[in-house]
């Protein structure tokens, strides 16, 4: 009886030693497109937000909100620690900022399904993709409804930060054991969700800026990894 048990254990070990993990075919063009979209979308975002900050600062006037009305008053500049990002969506930089958000949201929609594919379409990767797409749609909604339309704007803004943070941390969990993405990106996802939680607690402009910057860095990192491994055909 002891000999049977030893033999069975030996057979199981040998089976595990020679067992080949099932590989998944991936399209290098898909990886390339995902990488380019991520880099282009985030570069575009950095450019249009920076442009808005500069033009808002040098503009001779800025908006003053009173209920649903906006009144122009002399501009004292734009202060990142004291003003929300959404304030760029009204007044002198309204068109640049709001259309910029909508374009970024549209560009980012395909990125999450591509990440899902590179994560072998696991359940957690699919959940991340669905939440990520919803976050992109919410970002488009933030652009459609500027800050002075407080009801819809507040809803879409909350949805964007909440859904995007959840999508990133969920994808990062899947990336931790991924053969395609490096673990540094997964660890960066932890920093993103911490920033998102801090934003939810404090709700001030500085925490909003910090969380937005972390979002951008994470997507940049994902896009760069895609470009570096664009020739990979199996995972």
Per-residue tens of pLDDT for the chain, all 235 residues:
444 444 444 454 444 433 345 677 888 899 999 999 999 999 999 999 999 999 988 887 766 665 556 667 777 778 899 999 999 998 789 999 999 999 999 999 999 999 999 998 999 999 999 999 999 999 999 999 999 888 999 999 999 999 999 999 999 999 988 889 999 999 999 999 999 999 999 999 999 999 999 999 999 999 999 999 988 877 7
User: Which residues form the domain of 62?
Assistant: 28-228
Task: Report which of 118, 209, 123, 108 is spatially closest to residue 164, judged by C-alpha positions.
Answer: 108
Total domains in the chain come to 1
Burial class (CB in 10 A: 0-12, 13-18, 19+), 144: middle
- 71 inside domain: yes
Query: Could you give the CA distance from residue 141 to residue 152 in angstroms, rounded to a whole number?
Result: 8
- 5 inside domain: no
- 23 inside domain: no
- 18 inside domain: no
Burial class (CB in 10 A: 0-12, 13-18, 19+), 27: exposed
DSSP summary character for residue 87? G
- 79 inside domain: yes
Query: Could you give the CA distance from residue 67 to residue 178 in angstroms, rounded to a whole number?
Result: 50
Task: Report which of 228, 221, 176, 229 is spatially closest to residue 38, judged by C-alpha positions.
Answer: 221
- 234 inside domain: no
Q: What local confidence, expressed as pLDDT, does residue 15 receive?
A: 44
- 8 inside domain: no
Whether the model pTM is above 0.75: yes
Query: Could you give the CA distance from residue 84 to residue 125 in angstroms, rounded to a whole number?
Result: 32
- 3 inside domain: no
């Amino acid at each position: 009886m002891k000999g049977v048990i030893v033999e069975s254990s030996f057979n199981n070990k040998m089976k595990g030693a020679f067992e080949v993990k099932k590989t998944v075919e991936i399209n290098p063009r898909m990886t390339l497109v995902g990488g380019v979209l991520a880099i282009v979308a985030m570069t575009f975002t950095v450019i249009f937000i920076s442009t808005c900050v500069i033009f808002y600062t040098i503009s001779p006037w800025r908006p003053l909100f009173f209920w649903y009305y906006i009144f122009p008053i002399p501009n004292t500049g734009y202060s990142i620690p004291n003003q929300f990002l959404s304030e760029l969506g009204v007044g002198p930089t309204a068109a640049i900022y709001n259309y910029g958000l909508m374009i970024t949201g549209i560009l980012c929609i395909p990125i999450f399904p591509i990440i899902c594919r590179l994560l072998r379409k696991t359940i957690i990767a699919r959940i991340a993709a669905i939440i990520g797409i919803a976050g992109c749609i919410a970002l488009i909604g933030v652009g459609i409804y500027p800050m002075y339309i407080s009801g819809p704007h507040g809803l879409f803004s909350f949805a964007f930060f909440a859904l995007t943070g959840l999508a990133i941390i969920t994808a990062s969990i899947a990336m931790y054991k991924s053969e395609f993405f490096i673990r540094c990106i997964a660890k960066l996802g932890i920093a993103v969700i911490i920033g998102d939680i801090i934003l939810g607690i404090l709700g001030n402009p500085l925490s909003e800026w910090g969380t937005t910057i972390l979002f951008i860095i994470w997507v940049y990192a994902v896009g760069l990894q895609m470009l570096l491994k664009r020739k990979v055909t199996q995972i």
